[in-house]
Amino acid sequence: MSEVNSIIAADKQFLWHPFTPYNKWFDPPYVPLVIDKAEGCYLFDKKNNRFWDGNSSIWTTTHGHRHPRIIKAILACLEKIDHVSFLGNTHQWAVNLGKKLSLLISQGSANKYRVFFSDNGSTAVETAIKIAWQALKQRKEKERTLFLCLEGSYHGDTVGAMSVSSIPFQSRFKELLFESESLPAPSCFHCRWNRAKSSRGSDARESKICSWECLEALKKAIEKNKKRLAAMIIEPKIQGASGMWMHPEGYLKEAFKLTKEAGAFFIVDEVFSGMGRTGQLIASHKEGVYADFICLAKGLSGGTLPIAATLIREEIFDDFKGGYEEAFLHGHSYTANPLACASALENLKIFEEENTLRWIKAISSQLKSSSTIFWQHPLVGDVRVEGAVLAVEILKNKNGLIDSNLDIGWAVSEQAKAYGLVTRPIKDVLILVPPYCSSLEDIEGMVWALYKALNDILPVGK
């Protein structure tokens, strides 16, 4: 048995992968890639075949794999320390990172934030939910128990994060969850009120015809629950796991205004959309929103080590000053791990010193121009780009042309490997989320690989 086959056999015997349907994983013809190394925007398998990393390794790798500056920062930290408890101790890497994040997010405004570290997106959101809940209790606003979220939203897999999500697959855990209410998402392609006859040829946001009924629904929900409303949580600009549902300009700003006027907290989940993915370091700043809670993870360390941060307005922190009765008794063993903090701090410096945001604009422009090719395919319903994110939505069916048993996204993404592209779909939505170090030629190559794979699975004219 070859080394590759031995690794795959042991994997199938001993491991359990997340978000993986095992009828496919155990299907004998299926051979997963065995990734051996990575560099820049490329992945290499054990046979040294090169692939574009078209989803930035589950949306985490910002400046590309193994950026030399981040590696150097981690090794320099490791020369002095590996890990230390953050309960009652501190260290320079956490302090420097916290200060950097606070100043970057405040952007010279009157808004001041404190940083609570954890280690992944779910825990960043969980932290925000628990702090919001406890703060309201300590403010004697115990009647505020209701959280609002958007249809199709996904904020993580811990119980609190699931409670404020409404993505269908989490419904199997509904008995575990606390009360929340989901509202119509401002996703123009999926909108029940959009009166545009067709969006073919353009992003559905550009051709929408509506009266902002989604905002009217939010306004009514807030008016109905004004005294009970604890917080609204939203992924700003893009709902990632929903299928890259991209919001039209203006929704976020108005949702923030309505929520704050009701005296409730506003939480932005920037685990995916933050760290430059939408073209700005903090996505909610694109609409001038400075939320009460800002949750960061994924790209915070450049895809190297697990770390997350929840930024909380200073006035909320004031509610927790006191003894054990007022303290926030919550935390993790790897909170503010020095190595992770060192990698995150260097990641932020690279954004500033290598003009990353300017290059993301170039990537976005290339994604928009290259992806127009998808409109040649009759089964494509929407092509949308926001920052360094491309989503191509395949119509569920059109005159019976698609086999109802075909898992389109999976099949196309698997076929894309034949053209040197690794990506991961969300059901029938094909996605590219490239690392920021990708050249324009790389971006064009990724788009073409995805398009060729789509035509292999669903040939035009058949």
Residue numbers belonging to the annotated binding site for substrate: 154, 298, 331, 424
Asked if 345 and 93 touch (Cβ cutoff 8 Å), the reply is yes
Tell me the two tokens of residue 129.
């939910």
Contact 385, 393 (CB under 8 A): no
DSSP H/E element including 136: helix 121-138
Q: Report the residue count for the chain.
A: 462
Helix (H/G/I), strand (E/B), else coil: 443: helix
**Do the beta carbons of residue 303 and residue 60 sit within 8 Å?**
yes
Q: Is 390 left (phi over 0), alpha (psi -120 to 50) or beta?
A: beta
Residue identified by tokens 């491309």 is 390
> For 354, which DSSP code?
T
Which residues sit in the known binding site for pyridoxal 5'-phosphate? 121-122, 269, 332-333
Find, among 265, 389, 332, the residue nearest to 122 by Cα: 332
Q: Calculate the alpha carbon distances from 348 to 69, 77, 283, 353, 357 in Å.
A: 11, 16, 15, 9, 11
Q: How far apart are the first and last CA of the chain?
A: 41
Closest of 351, 343, 452 to residue 105, by C-alpha: 351
Q: Are 164 and 147 in contact (CB under 8 A)?
A: yes
Neighbours of 361 (CB within 10 A): 13
Annotated binding site: 121-122, 154, 269, 298, 331-333, 424
Cα–Cα dist 45/58, whole Å: 17
The token pair at 247 is 């919001």
